[in-house]
């Protein structure tokens, strides 16, 4: 099964650029600046999410280690009681 997709060549990209310049004209620098700012904000948001996920993962790992320690202590206490070393 073939998937058909249109991939613009150099001529099509040139036409798109010319049409963009005609449509946006003097607003092109402002538009480019706003697109750049939006991209930076997007990257900041993505980094914030990544940092939050990392922090949550660290917190969960610490909690898991604490639970394992409590479990090991409880197992040791039970083994002492069972063996009669109270």
**pLDDT per residue as tens digits for the range 16-25:** 988 888 888 8
- Whether 2 has a pLDDT exceeding 80, the answer reads no
* pLDDT tens digits, one per residue of 29-49: 888 899 999 999 999 999 999
Give start and end residues of each alpha helix (H) in the chain. Answer: 10-24, 28-83
Domain boundaries, the chain: 25-83
3-state secondary structure of 5: coil
This prediction has a pTM of: 0.52
pLDDT, greater one: 5 or 7: 7
Encoded tokens for 60? 């969960």
Among 41-45, 62-66, 68-72, 79-83, name the one with the lowest average pLDDT. Answer: 79-83
Task: Supply the pLDDT for residue 85.
Answer: 63
| pLDDT band per the 50, 70, 90 thresholds, residue 86 | low
CA atoms within 13 A on the CB side of 54: 6
């Amino acid at each position: 099964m073939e998937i058909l997709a249109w991939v613009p060549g150099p001529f099509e990209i040139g036409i798109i650029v010319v049409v963009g310049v005609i449509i946006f004209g003097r607003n092109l620098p402002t538009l480019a600046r706003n697109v750049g700012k939006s991209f930076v904000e997007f990257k900041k948001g993505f980094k914030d999410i990544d940092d939050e996920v990392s922090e949550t993962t660290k917190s969960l790992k610490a909690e898991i280690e604490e639970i394992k320690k409590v479990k090991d202590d409880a197992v040791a206490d039970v083994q002492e009681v069972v063996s009669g070393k109270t």
